[in-house]
Structure 1
Amino acid sequence: MDAQAAGGVDAPDAESFGCIDWAAPWFAPFAERGARWQCSALDGPEPFLATLDADACASTCVTGRGLPLRFVTQTQLPVDTAYEAHIAATGRVPTRHNLHDFFNALVWLAFPRLKAGLNARQAQAIERDGVGAVRGAERDALTLFDENAALFVTTDDALTEALVAFDWRRLFVAGRSSWGTRCEVHIVGHALLEKLISPYKACTAHAWIVGAPQAYFGWPEADRRAWLDETTACALAQAAPTSRAFAPLPVLGIPGWCAANADATFYDDTGVFRPGRRAAA
């Protein structure tokens, strides 16, 4: 998110708010709040920010150092101050009137503990290492998580093995009936959500694997999300992620996420569903 420090000018995609399809499986979990925010965004920057901040005020969400979450204009980010450090120190998230920051705010409200955990780690790394031309391995991995992560939740180790081994046919074809009963995906990377406004076959997430208890898929959706938020936040508190902790996941390969993948030949495209070094080994 370092690019946010560049200034407060709204990106030119503000008019694209009207293009969000809340019926799409990657947006549907955010639809209830997101559709309301979308209406405010279409009314302009001021109603947009007011709606976001009202929801933050009504929540119990906090940022990386326990301060109440608030959304403020990008102009409140001081010059030469790192975006993540500012959030941790003040509780205020500088926000532009664009899709990128729209989805960032949605993820903050949907997975508040996860986002606070990421913010805490990012702020710690900045304090320790400073802000230079190169972020360093830890901040790179945290940025991957923040921008492009999907949580791959499963009760079946064989499905984890298939994902890590790039065994796409075992994961998506032979294991097709397992989706929704033994594994599922939650997208938490806001840049990835932004990309999925116009989905394309090669769109790939950095999948963070979460092993769940056998009872998980019998829980109500709200309980699953709360457990996932807490579990991921606890993992982040124990150790910072590394880039090797993620597995590539072409998101349009997920059963039900693309009509074309009902035909098994969809996965024959090795330009997208690559064998990978791990599978070759």
Structure 2
Amino acid sequence: MYLRSSSLTPHPGFDRFAHPLLAHWCESAVSRPLEEWPDCTALEILRREAERGDGIARPRFAAQTRALLDDGLHYEARIATRGELATREHNPHDFFNALVWLRHPRLKWALNARQVADIAQVGPKRRTRGQCALTHFDEAGAIVWLADTALLPLWDAHDWSALFRANRASWGRVIAITVFGHALAEHVWNGHELPVAKALAVAVPSGALAAQAIGDAAMLSCWPAAESHVAAAIADGILLADPQDLRPLPLAGIPGWHPLGAEERFLREAPCFRPVRAGRRYPPPFSWRSG
């Protein structure tokens, strides 16, 4: 599992449709019954629209049928060599994955290139440390944009009260988050209200972050200029060389993510807010300078 699940049931007022993660990703799409979610034909329309908008190719959404799988190709190799993304129709996991491809193609292509390169190196039956990191990020990843790196030691120490409560006004102003992992959205869809992201920390200029359209819950839908640099670093093996590159970030602490997010007891006792493991050290943030 790439997500830390909670045995707790959602609080009585939990509404997955109003949760910022689902509202952020698909707006009215999740208000329809599962069987009415877009099939591959509808996703293909969205793919062509996205490609016309930014000029970046995405793999074709191909229904995952026995005939498709009979080509014998690895999932990642099929994307790289045939430009086809095997997609289980009316499946929430694959639906959210499709949305990520539509919004973050550069990051997705970088992950795919690294996966294919490592498969060629060790074969389809083994996994490198890099592949584990890539998969963690693909499933549960987020990018945290930091214009104030003074917040980083608080995060590194898992001082959740200081990061989320004492510095509550910083979220959406000098720190923002781009949610990338499609399994995070599925996690909330399945009723879990305490998702934990596997996050990359990226230091950015304060002026560059301030110029972005940061929405509710400190979320930045996408930042193509900055993401292109992150994608290049992933493709080059500078980022996501090891799962230890990723920091856990319990999203329920961010303002707007949970009704109890500002309460000291919640930040101390909810199972997603775990103390730092003895001896755990995180790498410095990746730095991107605009201009």
Normalising to structure 1: TM-score of the pair? 0.80
Shift of 1:280: 8.1
Contact 1:166 1:279 in 2 (8 A): no
Of 74, 88, 99, 1:106 maps to: 99
Question: How does the TM-score come out when normalised to structure 2?
Answer: 0.78
Query: Partner residue of 1:30?
Result: 25
Structure 2 match to 1:210: 202
Equivalent residue in structure 1 for 2:77, among 73, 82, 85? 85
Q: Distance in 1 between matches of 2:58 and 2:260?
A: 44
Q: Which residue of 1 aligns with 2:116?
A: 123
Alpha-carbon distance change, 267 to 199 in structure 1, aligned in 2, over 3 angstroms: farther
Give how far 1:154 is off: 1.3
Query: 5 Å matches for 1:8-47?
Result: 21=17, 23-31=18-26, 35-36=28-29, 42-43=35-36
Residue 148 of structure 2 corresponds to residue 150 of structure 1: no
Residue identity over aligned pairs, in percent, reads: 35
For the residues of structure 1 that align with 2:190 and 2:30, how far apart are their CA atoms? 19
**In structure 2, distance between residues paired with 1:140 and 1:207:** 14
The one-letter amino acid of 1:169's match is: S
* Cα deviations by residue, 1:209-228 (Å, 9 ceiling, x for unpaired): 11121111232358952234
Choose 217-226 or 139-148, whichever is displaced more: 217-226
**Aligned residue for 1:9?**
none
Amino acid at match of 1:28: A
**Structure 2 counterpart of 1:71, one-letter code:** F
For 1:185, which of 168, 177, 184 is the aligned residue? 177
CA offset digits 1:232-271 (Å, max 9, x no partner): 2122123251111101111112121000113222111174
Partner of 1:277: 277
2:164 maps to 1:166: no
Question: Match of 2:213?
Answer: 220
> 2:228 matched to which residue of 1?
230
| In structure 2, distance between residues paired with 1:20 and 1:155 | 30
Relative to structure 1, the CA distance from residue 85 to residue 20 in structure 2 (aligned partners, 3 Å threshold; closer, same or farther) is farther
Q: Which residue of 1 aligns with 2:284?
A: none
Where 1:116 maps in the other structure, the secondary structure is helix
Shift of 1:39: 5.0
1:83 CA drift (Å): 0.4
Q: How many angstroms apart in 1 are the aligned matches of 2:166 and 2:58? A: 46
Aligned residue pair count: 254
Could you tell me which amino acid in structure 1 is paired with residue 223 of structure 2? R
- Counting only pairs closer than 5 Å after superposition, residues 259-274 of structure 1 correspond to structure 2 as 259-269=259-269, 271-274=271-274
Where 1:272 maps in the other structure, the secondary structure is coil
Change (3 A) 1:199 1:156: farther
Which residue number in structure 2 is paired with residue 7 of structure 1? none
In structure 2, the residue matched to 1:253 is 253
CA RMSD of aligned residues (A): 2.8
